[in-house]
Structure 1
Amino acid sequence: MSLHRKDTDSAFEGAGSKAGLEIWCIENLRLVPVPKSSHGKFYTGNAYIVLKTVLPKTGPAQHEIHYWLGNDTNKVDSAFASDKALELDAALGSCTVQYRELQGLETGKFLSYFKPCIIPVEGLYSSHQGHLNGETYKFSLLTCKGDHVVHIKEVPFSRSSLNHNDVFILDTASKIFLFSGCNSSIQERAKALEVVQYIKENNHGGKCEVATIEDGKFVGDSDVGEFWSLFGGFAPIPRDSPSSVQKQSDAPSVKLFWITTQGKLCQTGTDSLNKKILETDKCYMLDCGAEIFVWMGRQTLISERKTSISATEDFLRTQGRSTGTHLTFLTEGLESNIFRSYFDNWPQKVEPKLYEEGREKVAAIFKQQGYEVKELPEEDCEPFINCRGTLKVWRVNGDELSLLPVPEQTKFYSGDCYVVQFTYPGNERDENLFYAWIGRRSVMEDRRDAISHMNAIVDSTKGDPVLAQAVEDKEPVQFFLIFQTLIIFKGGMSKRYKKFIAEKGITDETYDGIKTALFRVQGTSPQNMQAIEVDLVSSSLNSSYCYILQTETFIFTWIGSLSSTRDHDLLDRMLELINPTLQPISVREGSEPDIFWNALGGKAEYPKAKEMKQCVEDPHLFTLNTTEGDFKVHSTFYIITSFFFVDYKKIY
């Protein structure tokens, strides 16, 4: 059932017609639109409605609704927010997924809308003044958790709040301190740096000092001394005791409840759930322990859906469930993969490949010839190892290796070679994976030394590390997954590369952050995305990708006509890493201004057909034998169990 427009709050008029975010704050039991300049600023005393709209090139609009509840929100506003979320869903044709978001416990999906983070503000929102009355600047200590989306939480301004596992930001009136626990991950530290920059620009007008504090390093550094003086002087942070580690509880049993029209919960189903249990004129609650789903049939009334939401929230309160329990509302036909996974043999729905306009005709021709035609689903590559490890990267620099600082570890140059060590937790001990990365424009001496240096580091490493070689443009997916974000620039920084181009009279193309450059954005997710600097000519474009064109005075984002919404999300993320200062000019393929083509040396032809994935050859296992001075290689049949095979290639 969907509401008529006359039954919908006037604040929702036109909602969902444009791509992007729309936010409403509940003020005195009415909906107040939040201007874009205040998106991401949430007051702890308010409740908010957030609508995310995606407009695909073909097909209907896609919507997701979140209602956010601050820690100080009263019960009346909370109930009003859930009712208005349902009302908005009905106005949009009952085709949305709805999420309840609690301050400090937001879902990753919600946080991904706001870059780099949200930092809740104490007090109440005022639509008339746009800020909190009497709001004054004060010291605050924040924790930053998360590798890709950042959970920000204010903690008491005390030494006891610090630990070795997390990253902290101390925001003072004149300086921002970034404290990195020795056990925090590289990704968390990088994300925290983005948050520091965000606070600097928004809270200090870009005018304040920033100091980084390494856990355990405090001798002879004035910033470190100043940091600890704010806590009354330096004192060691205690290690976590074994008793403080929470033991993983057994997976809770999944229970399905039918919610009556009076709001009563009646357990239904058995240990084995089947989709046939769900009736289209009823609402159900699926209790999965840390997450609860409310499933609403297509033929249920709005009043019944409101009752099911209040009944579920009452259930959470009476059962004393954790405030971190996530609550998701699903309409029949819009079930998520996680929800469907709790049911046996849920029917699979096939999504059409929209860019293949004539696939039905081709399929019909093959069927006439007696062939059965089926479309293979597109699969994302799963990592073979735990990607939440620690990373070290060295650049080959003459006869030496230069260890790169953490912020520079995800920035490679095509004229250089690198040694990568990735340490991750194994079954009983830490495991090590080594790569020698060979840039396409690197010199032969650096290539040889990369292998030699990698072997030397391996010899000093305990255990049985795995070694591999990655050549630029031929990297395995696993290589990108351990970096998660990687930018490859043209040019090089090594002494030998600089000497080589000087002797040959070649112009140094090394990227310096200012000169004009063109980047191709690629990848499959925020855990696997890259920006590759390509030749500064129009022929480098491809309709299947998105690009970033930067000059000294402006920056363009170019969206290929065959690119997907996933590509557009990666484009936004990469733009913030390459140049977060300039306001981008977004252009779609076919609507480029002259200044865009002029920066590329003029308009020219480029590939406009859908780029297909390259065929990945099956792996091969070879047997090596040395007999009477002869070296023989034989291909061998094998069965993979738990081994990791490495195909070494000679590069000399």
Structure 2
Amino acid sequence: MYNIQRLLHIKGKKPVTATEVDLTWDSFNKGDVFLLDLGKVLIQWNGPEANLSEKSRGLALARNIRDGERGGRAQIGVVDEEQMSSAELLQIMETVLGPRAGALRDAVSEERADEFQKANLRLYHLYEKDEDLVVQEIATRPLTQDLLQHEDCHILDQGGFKIYVWRGRGSSKEEKKAAFSRAVGFIQAKGYPATTNVEVVNDGFESAMFKQLFQQWTEKDQTEGPAKVEPVKFDVTNLQGQPELAAEQRMVDDGSGKVEVWRIEDLHKKPVDPKKYGQFYGGDCYLVLYTYQKSGRAQYIIYIWQGRYASVDEVTASALNALELDHMYQEEAVQVRVTMGKEPRHFLAIFRGRLVVFQVREEWPLGAPSALSSVRTGVFWEDHGEVESPSRSGSLSLDVLRLLAAPSKGHLALPVPREAQRPSQGTSGSEE
């Protein structure tokens, strides 16, 4: 099962692309990222001079291959050459590639690599016109998904590294057959090596390697925003000093451990001022390291909080920075991905039941419109899927404390109406 052995070279800044290269140490260099795909195991090797964009794209590609092509049944490992870590993974690599002899080559400059990639990636459109089949070059890099016509076929030539034949779901049998024949004909016509691979890609079942050649790829059933969940009633402030209650809620502890927070900025993690702990912005991603004691030994949880409006690069960088943070603690931390608006109970507990989520970025320019945000207090009576609200009076509810924030006027706290204080459930909501 998954009888695969291939080496992928990940290179560039904008865009970052992956290319299949020879399965040998001679393909490696100091400045890039390489992904060794062994079917059930995916090993990402980071060169000592590789940039964070390449590391992020490599990790994203590995996850897409694991989840989209292996049904989640593959393991991902990361080898950082600069830190000389992960001896077991290096041993696996040497079993496949053989012992490494000599020093690594220097990397090709980003500018030269981008020029080469742009010049060698071409998309062709194959369609029927009258009784003839027409093959027409329609685009080079950057490629967009809307160029693919579902009623026709396309040939994507990756400069002799690989040739893809994309078959639209509405294309005819003649078009599909002709597209493959023309793709094979490219090998001789363009002087490509006889070993150049031609891969058939069916509409709606594209491989991760095919999709990464486009600027952005949206799946057919992909949706935006969080899903609706049932409201919950739960007072996290009651957990403090009550480990038995935390155990009843299946939480690791009562949330009284040590908390450290970083925000992803320029694809790197930047420490957050402790005075701002608990303040999150929907356009950003954060790492939260929680340290607690169990049986006299330190335990670690890394929460990866991802804002609803964060970019794909920031989301990927947050996962990569979490891996690097995990390495600092000998890979003993438990990593938990947290989606904006669906924060788990323990995550709320470590912030003492107070969590403010703004729908904008932290760098809020003067003159920007105001934003109405929910305050996550100790008692929850609201839908976890709705964190931010539009800045209008209709967004105010009787049971949720709101903050109206404007960049030029600071923050205005709107008091909770008396009907919403629910004194029988405790006083924490009204006090906050």
TM-score, L = length of structure 1:
0.29
Structure number with greater Rg is 1
TM-score, L = length of structure 2:
0.40
Q: Which has the higher contact order (CA 8 A, sep 6+)?
A: 2
